[in-house]
Structures are given as structure tokens and as C-alpha cells.
Amino acid sequence: MNHLERHVYDFCYDKKIPNVANPSDVEYNKIGNRLIENGIKYRMKKFVFYTLFLFIVLISLFNCGVALTPKLTAKLPPETETEVFRLDVFHGEVKNLYGINLGIVNIIKDRLIGAQIGLLNSADSKNRKKNIGLQVGILNNSDSNYYGLKLGIFNQSEGGFTIQTGAVNQVESKGKGNGGIQLGFYNEVTLKQSGNQIMGDGTYFTAGVYNYGGGGVKIGLFNSSPRGIGLSVGVINTGKEDNFLIGILNFCEHGFPSVMIGFNYCWNLSFMR
């Protein structure tokens, strides 16, 4: 090993080196470049090794597993109810997932912190735990404790805070603290009824062709606000009390005037009901 090889070797393999001048000799530089390239490969191998080692240690400490089968028959370790990576050939269910779930039908029964990518994704916490993550698929479903982003054709939620982007986005609101963003062709916010109590509307920013329900801001061709306080901007807008409407035709079910061009505000006039 000549003088240059020794210095480049020391640099690439974490050894202390003195300052040397850069020579102009072509062959000298070729040798240096080759040794630097080998040193980079060596460092990458060390990084991959330590990453895999840390991954295995964390799985062991937190009793997490990895599943690569359509059913829960080959988990590692087999007793775990928590997984960090799951690949479902067709249909798969897991209680807790802290990581990535890939497959055709992906179902989380209790807790999701991570991402679901497939044709059908569902995250429903039976113990009312907060689910935080990303759902990408044709149909995405979640309960009222979901906080995250959904990308798909049909997106459904029971509340929480969701950003839903798809052709059809639907929220069955279960509390006044719900909210989010809906972007799609048809967007709907309906109310969950529990016994004789009707739950809250939530507050949403909604943009689409037809937007129905919920409080907040609606932008679209047709907007309907049967409940909640909000602003609707579109060609045709309908609303009940405490809604401000801006568009070509604006209809208020209870108010005076009931129809206006340009804008309208829906007053709470009890004698007109």
C-alpha cells in the first residue's frame, strides 16, 4: 500500500489522517477515487447491519411482530397482538399495528399508528383508542377516533379529524369536536343519533361538486346546510339558521327573504316555521 492508499484508507475507515496536498497525477487520483468508493460501500454495509440489528431488538423488547401471510399463522413472535409490518395476500386482521399494512383487505381491530395501503382498509378501535395514520385504497373506513389522511375513491369516517380526498367522502359525525377537510365529487356530513340524543355536526372545510351537511365552509356547485353554522359559496346554496350563503341562487328554509340572488343569511325566525 503506497502513501496515497494509506491516507485514503484511513479516511474511509474512520481513522485519523494528516493533511496532505492533492497531486495532479492522473493515476494517483484514480487510485484515490477507487478507495473512497470502497470506503463508502463499507460504511453503507455498517449502516444496514446496525439498522437491522436495532429493528430486531425493538421487536423483541416491545413484543411486536412481522406477518407476511394471508392469515395470522406465521407471525414472529407468534403470540404477539402487535405488528410493525404486515403483508396480506388477500385478507388480514390484526389487533394493533405500529407501522405499515399492505394487502387487498386490511383490518385493524384496535390501534393504528402508521399506514394502510390496499383495496379496502378499515381501522376501528373497539377500546376507543386514538388511531393516527394514512389510508390509501379504493374504500377507506375508520371510527370516530381516527386522525389522519385518506386517499381513495370512497372514504368513510365516524368523526375524529380527517382529511379525506376521493370521489365520495362521507362522515357520520358523533361529536361536536369532529372536523377536517373533504375534497371530492360528493361530500357528506350526517349526524350520529344515540338514543334520543343527536350528536354534533363538526366543523369542516369542504370542496366538491355537491356538498351536504356539517358546519364550516363549503365551496362547490351545489351546497346544502341543513344544520350547523357555516358559509356556503356556490351556484345554488340552501341552508337553515346561522348559515351565510353566497351564490347565484340562495335559499333559506327559515328566514326572510327565503330566496335571494347573490347572497343570503338564514335567520332564526320562529314565527315563520
pLDDT band at 51 (very low <50, low <70, confident <90, very high): low
Cβ 162 vs Cβ 147: under 8 Å: yes
**pTM (two decimals):** 0.66
Residue 150 is predicted with a pLDDT of: 95
Cα torsion 95, 99, 103, 106: sign: positive
Q: Where are the alpha helices (DSSP H) in the chain?
A: 3-12, 26-61
More confident residue, 207 or 48: 207
**135/84 Cα distance (integer angstroms):** 16
**259/58 Cα distance (integer angstroms):** 64
**101/92 Cα distance (integer angstroms):** 9
Cβ 161 vs Cβ 143: under 8 Å: no
More confident residue, 66 or 115: 115
- The model's pLDDT over 53-83, given as tens digits with 9 standing for 90+, comes to 555 545 444 444 444 444 444 444 444 556 7
Residue 26 is predicted with a pLDDT of: 54
- The model's pLDDT over 19-34, given as tens digits with 9 standing for 90+, comes to 445 555 555 566 666 6
Cα torsion 115, 110, 149, 113: sign: negative
Q: Where are the alpha helices (DSSP H) in 72-199?
A: none
- The 3-state DSSP class for residue 189 equals strand
Domain ranges of the chain: 3-61, 65-157, 174-273
**137/217 Cα distance (integer angstroms):** 26
Q: Rounded mean pLDDT of 219-248?
A: 91
Provide the mean pLDDT of the chain: 75
Is the pLDDT at 182 greater than 90? The verdict is: yes
Highest mean pLDDT, choosing among 78-82, 88-92, 105-109, 151-155 = 151-155
